[in-house]
Structure formats: structure tokens, C-alpha cells
Amino acid sequence: MAEQQAIPWALVVAATTAAVAVAALNASLRGVCRSPLEAVSLTARIAAAVAWTFVRYVARGFRPEFPKWTLRFELLRAAIRTVNELYGDRMVQDAQHARVIRAQSEAVGSILGWFYCRWYCKGMEPVNFNGLEHLWLRPKDPKKTEAKRLVVMYEHGGAFSLLSPRFYSFFCASLAASIERELGRRGSSAQVEIFLANYHKTPEFCFPTQPKEIIAAYKHLLDHEGLSPNQIILAGDSAGGGLVMSTLLRLRDDKPNRLPLAAIVCSPFVDMSESIDPASARSCILTRSIAKAARLVYHPTCSDRSTWAGASAVHCNLSGLPPVFIQAATLDYLYQDSVRLAEKAKADGVEDWELDVNEGVSHVFSLFPSWVLPYGQVGVEKMAAFAAKQFIKS
């Protein structure tokens, strides 16, 4: 009799556990999925993609697909690409989903940033203006007041729609520390700070809102922080790299005497034309669907070339800009954006830009922590070397 009564209770416990698991899964995937069924289906697809990736890894003799990859990165890439292929356009074009992803990225970034800032002895200081939270990363132990400040103003990526400055705090803490080391190696020093500038996202706001807000943030540094332009380096990745270029073009045309010392762009999104998918893009975390959606929501009239303006830097006159470091990856969906940007600069008579081509790595590879992709730190150190060189020359 006791055994007969135990069976229903076991079923109740199992059903309750399953319901809680599905609810938790649905909550964690709210930025992508519209129903619990979609969440379960997506989880199954991710699991299948990850499993197949591992099987192929074993079949290759426990070697990653590309020499600079690791198993951790390969599994993560499989998961990210699966999500982007299925729902990339939805994440970018649907404001409700985009807002959830932003909030999730802020939470994750706050946790990661706290650990990395402690490791690199940095402090996170939020500052609010223009209705947005921006973020300072400063040394916990500031140098003497006479030490010259070097500020990297960073514009984050995320298809103009996703992610938040806090999500980049761990990467920027590493970048600041690398610049400090590089300056020391070259016999110089500075108080290196990172200012993570925020901007209103698509699809709620479109071009030219974002570059205007980045210029406002730049002016904030000049007017309220007492910085001179030669103490500031603009930097950004992907969509943020595109915003860096738009900002430089606007400053050159309006106030050329306020152009920053230099700029760094990683896998920049700088071409509004829709190009043919490169064969190497199959190995990238970025997919056609998310790139196309990003282009449409950022610049709704992108089909009309006459409206591109500074949103498509590869089609602009690039003369008169400060030195720019372009970090490119051959497996990046946006690889040709970087190549064309460098070629256009050369055609416009620019001689102090650098194109850093990295073989066998994907979109924004430098942003991946070294415990996921060790080669990512190589990318960070290359950025740091450029920043230190420009600062010392100034």
C-alpha cells in the first residue's frame, strides 16, 4: 500500500522539478525565445551543436579546428552561432528581446568586472548623464597628481542593439593593465583610465543618435574632466568600432582641433552595403542574419546610399584623421570591412594607420578571456602596444 502511494508522489516531484527547470530555462532565454517550448527546443539545438563539435574535436585527434582555438572556445562558438543563426534578427530587431539581453549582459558584466577589477586593482565608478549610465575604470591606487592621464574612451559593440558597458568591464580592465605594462616596458608611465561610454540602442533609436551621443560623451571628457584631446584614445569593437569611425569623421568636419590622439577599432562594422558572405564566415560567431538586422535597425534607409554619411566609413574621405589601429580577423564575417577601411585610408593618402591581420581567429577575438581563448590576450597586447606608442609620441 505504501509503495502504491509513493508512486504518485514521485511523479509529482518529477513533474514539479521538470516544470521548475523549464521555467528557469525560459527565464534565462527570455532575450531569445518567446515561449517555454522555444526555450526547450533551442536548448536541445545548442546541446546537439556542442555535442557534434566535441565529436569532431575527438575525431581530429583532440585538436581544435584551427591552431589558435581551444576546445573551450570551439564549444562556446558552437553555442553562440546556433543562437545567432536561429534568432539573430529577432534579438536585434525586437526591442523587448533586446532589452532583456542588455539587462542580462549588465548583470553578467557586473560580476565578471568585479573579479577582473580586483585582479587588476581597478575601481568601477558609474557616472550618469544624457539619461544613461557610463562607467569609469580607474586605478584603485592613483598615481601622483602630476602624472599625466591617458584615457581610453571605449564604445562597446553588440549590433548597435545589445549588450552594455558593464559587460565590457572585464576586457577593459585587462586592456588598461596591458597599456600600463607596455608603457613601463618602454620606460614611460601614465595613469591609464578607461571610460566606457554608453549610447541609446536600436531598435528604439537609430542613426545618427548614437554617434551624436558618443561625441557628447567625448565632450564631457574634455569639458568636465579637464583632459586635452591628446590624452584621449577612442576605441571600440564591431558596432562600437563603427561608432568610433563615425565620431572621428564628425569631429574632423566640425572641430578638427578636438580630434583625439588616436583610435583603435576591432572587427569594425563600417560598411552599410550588403556584401556576399565570405566562405570563412562559417567559422565566425557572427552570422549574416544578425549583421543584416543590425544594418537595417541602425540605418533604416541603408538601401539609399546617399543617406549613409559617416555610418559607412569605407565610403568616406578618411584623410585628416588621427592614427587608427584596425584589428582584423580572417575568420570574421566583417573581415572585409577592416580590409576595405585600410585600403580606403591608403587611397586617401593616409600613411599612419595600421592594419593588424590575425589569421585563424573570429570576430572580436580579443574580447574573449584568456582562459577561453589564450590568443585573445595577444590581441589585447597589440592594442596596448599601439596605444602606448601613440601616447609616448605625443
Residues known to be catalytic: 238
List the grid coordinates of 109. 558584466
Record the cell numbers describing residue 233, joined without a space.
Answer: 584614445
SS3 143: coil
- Quickly count: other Cβ atoms within 10 Å of residue 351's Cβ: 7
Q: Is residue 289 classed as helix, strand or coil in its secondary structure?
A: helix
Q: How far apart are CA 344 and CA 315, in angstroms?
A: 8
**What is the four-CA torsion angle of 352, 353, 358, 362, rounded to 10 degrees?**
170
For residue 328, the one-letter residue type is A
Would you state the torsion angle of the CA atoms of residues 37, 40, 45, 49, taken in this order, to the nearest 10 degrees?
170
The candidate with the shortest Cα–Cα distance to 295, out of 238, 251, 339, is 238
255 φ/ψ angles, rounded to the nearest 5 degrees: -140, 75
How many other C-beta atoms can be found within 10 angstroms of the C-beta atom of residue 274?
13
Q: How far apart (Å, rounded) are the C-alpha atoms in residues 384 and 228?
A: 20
**Residue 392: how many other CB atoms lie within 10 Å:** 13
Question: CA–CA separation, 334 vs 287, rounded Å?
Answer: 10
Residues 163 and 29: their CA atoms lie apart, in Å, by 15
Residue 374 DSSP label: T
Dihedral, CA of residue 163, residue 169, residue 175 and residue 179, to nearest 10:
130
Within its chain, how far is the Cα of 296 from the centroid?
19
CB atoms within 10 A of CB 86: 19
Cell numbers of 35, please? 515561449
